[in-house]
């Protein structure tokens, strides 16, 4: 009987974790996140540290296996790994992420085991779980609960507290639902109607107040227009990923980029996506000099993704290079494990083809790079994966008047990844209240305003050019100044106070 109940608990946790990604892009059924998290919170009550870790791990594995199993496409189709081994590798990757997700939930067994503590403590632990996996082993800040509010009233709070504050409010709603469910079950068991505890009423009032005030905060102008109106063109070449790095295809790629850009010389800015030029500048100097001269004649700034090499150090970088009416270079500072560098390279490199993917030998760019400038407007640049780091974008955006992110999500085919990536990029625009240009190889290429709304976008898996205008904005939101630290510190303090309180109470109880 006990084994049956345990199996049902694990099945419920697995189902809840697997359904959580439906709250995020591309499904965007955001309300489902609250009952999913509520199930986890309900099952974490009165647990030992080991039990809490196992239950959070089951939930986390299902969440990642449902939400980020698109890594299978990279491993199988582009890493040329047989399907069974690719599936096993994907499962191990999700298991590793589940471990990182679960570890902070050990704290849930250390806080006082009663309703009031769970209402505050469990949302705080959820935030610490998201924060922990944002930096541990370089981080994987994917599937944050706060992203479900990219298009709800609560996004009005993003310029103040960022996505982790939205995660805390989401988890608070889940904790409240879990406690309401427990109260109803007690009433059903006793046969008497149970009054709603005062703490739950207060929690409900806080959630309603925060939601309504979020709608009001959406009307606040955190930044101001600079008065410029820049014409921009985003080139989406839709280059076949399996041919991109073939030397025999290089000239065809260059010809296509030139043809797509030709009608738009004279625009303030033309953007080619991440690694649009599949060779280091020294190898294709003639092509780049020609483009640079053409852009200068037309007073157009052209930014292109390109791998670069520092000949003095011998290091390679994933970069954005400025040509024409702009100059400078930005080198990526957050690299994708296995995609852009191989951990334990001496052991793994050459073991299987997946560890020899193109562009998998990059070095980290400097953290204090100068901003690129377009028509006198400073531009904060994030390459692909970097845009999912809230604190990174907050820091580099402070003196910028607009954001640029270039990406190549062709590695993930027709999966959830590009839409999830786009949703996170939109949240960055909301957090710092500045417009964003997103140029990609095959989608989602878009122009996003300072409130995170998509003004224009191209269809995925198509070849095209997105022409539009961007209105740069100066100023700093509260989140741009502080990042996620106020929310993280709040979560740490909540857990610390609750744990100390329980320890003192137990110690005093023993003395009495």
Nearest CA-CA partner of 272 in 286, 249, 256: 256
In the sheet where 269-272 sits, what is the strand order?
Answer: 329-331, 315-324, 301-310, 269-272, 230-236, 464-470
Structure tokens at 405: 């992110």
Question: Phi-psi category of 190—alpha, beta or left, where left has phi over 0 and alpha has psi -120 to 50?
Answer: alpha
Structure tokens at 488: 């993280």
- β-pair partners for 267: 265
Name every residue whose Cβ is closer than 8 Å to that of residue 287 and which is 6 or more positions away in sequence.
254, 277
Contact 274, 305 (CB under 8 A): yes
How many beta carbons lie within 10 A of that of residue 5, not counting itself? 9
What would the DSSP string read from start to end of 68-98?
STTHHHIIIIIT---HHHHHHHHHHHHHHHH
Q: What are phi and psi of 107, to 5 degrees?
A: -65, -25
Residue 316: partners with Cβ closer than 8 Å, 6 or more residues away:
280, 307, 308, 309, 310, 361, 362, 363
Tell me which residues are annotated as active site: 274, 332, 384
């Amino acid at each position: 009987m006990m084994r049956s109940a345990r199996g049902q608990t694990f099945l419920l946790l697995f189902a809840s974790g697997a359904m959580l990604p439906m709250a995020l892009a591309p499904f965007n059924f955001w309300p489902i996140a609250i009952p999913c998290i509520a199930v986890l919170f309900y099952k974490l009550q009165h647990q030992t540290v080991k039990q809490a870790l196992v239950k959070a791990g089951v939930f986390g594995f299902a969440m990642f296996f449902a939400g980020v199993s698109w890594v299978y496409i990279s491993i199988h189709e582009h890493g040329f790994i047989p399907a069974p081994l690719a599936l096993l590798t994907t499962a191990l990757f999700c298991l590793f992420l589940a471990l990182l997700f679960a570890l902070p939930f050990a704290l849930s067994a250390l806080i006082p085991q009663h309703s009031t503590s769970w209402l505050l403590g469990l949302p705080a632990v959820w935030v610490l779980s998201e924060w922990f996996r944002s930096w541990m082993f370089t981080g994987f800040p994917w599937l944050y609960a706060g992203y479900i509010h990219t298009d709800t009233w609560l996004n009005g709070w993003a310029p103040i507290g960022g996505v982790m504050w939205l995660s805390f409010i989401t988890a608070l709603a889940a904790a409240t639902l879990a406690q309401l469910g427990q109260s109803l079950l007690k009433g059903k068991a006793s046969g008497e109607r149970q009054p709603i505890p005062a703490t739950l009423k207060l929690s409900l009032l806080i959630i309603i107040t925060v939601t309504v005030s979020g709608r009001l905060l959406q009307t606040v102008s955190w930044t101001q227009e600079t008065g410029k109106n820049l014409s921009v063109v985003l080139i989406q070449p839709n280059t076949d990923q399996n041919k991109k790095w073939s030397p025999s295809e290089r000239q065809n790629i260059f010809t296509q980029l030139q043809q797509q850009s030709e009608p738009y010389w004279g625009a303030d800015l033309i953007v080619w996506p991440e690694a649009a030029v599949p060779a280091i500048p020294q190898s294709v100097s003639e092509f780049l000099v020609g483009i640079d001269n053409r852009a200068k004649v037309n007073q157009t700034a052209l930014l292109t993704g390109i791998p670069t090499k520092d000949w003095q150090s011998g290091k390679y970088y994933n970069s954005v290079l400025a040509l024409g009416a702009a100059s400078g270079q930005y080198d990526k500072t957050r690299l994708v494990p296995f995609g852009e560098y191989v951990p334990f390279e001496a052991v793994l490199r050459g073991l299987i083809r997946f560890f020899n993917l193109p562009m998998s030998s990059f070095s980290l760019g400097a953290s204090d790079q100068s901003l690129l400038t377009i028509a006198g407007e400073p531009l904060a640049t994030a390459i692909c994966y970097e845009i999912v780091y809230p604190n990174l974008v907050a820091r580099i955006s402070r003196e910028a008047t607009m954001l640029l992110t270039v990406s190549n999500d062709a590695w993930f085919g027709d999966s959830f990844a590009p839409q999830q990536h786009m949703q996170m990029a939109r949240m960055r625009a909301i957090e710092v209240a500045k417009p964003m240009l997103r140029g990609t190889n095959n989608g989602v290429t878009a122009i996003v305003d300072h409130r995170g709304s998509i003004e224009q976008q191209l269809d995925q898996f198509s070849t095209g050019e997105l022409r539009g205008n961007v209105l740069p904005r100066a100023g700093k939101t509260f989140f741009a100044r502080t990042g996620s630290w106020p929310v993280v510190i709040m979560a740490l303090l909540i857990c610390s106070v609750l744990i100390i309180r329980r320890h003192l109470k137990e110690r005093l109880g023993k003395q009495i």
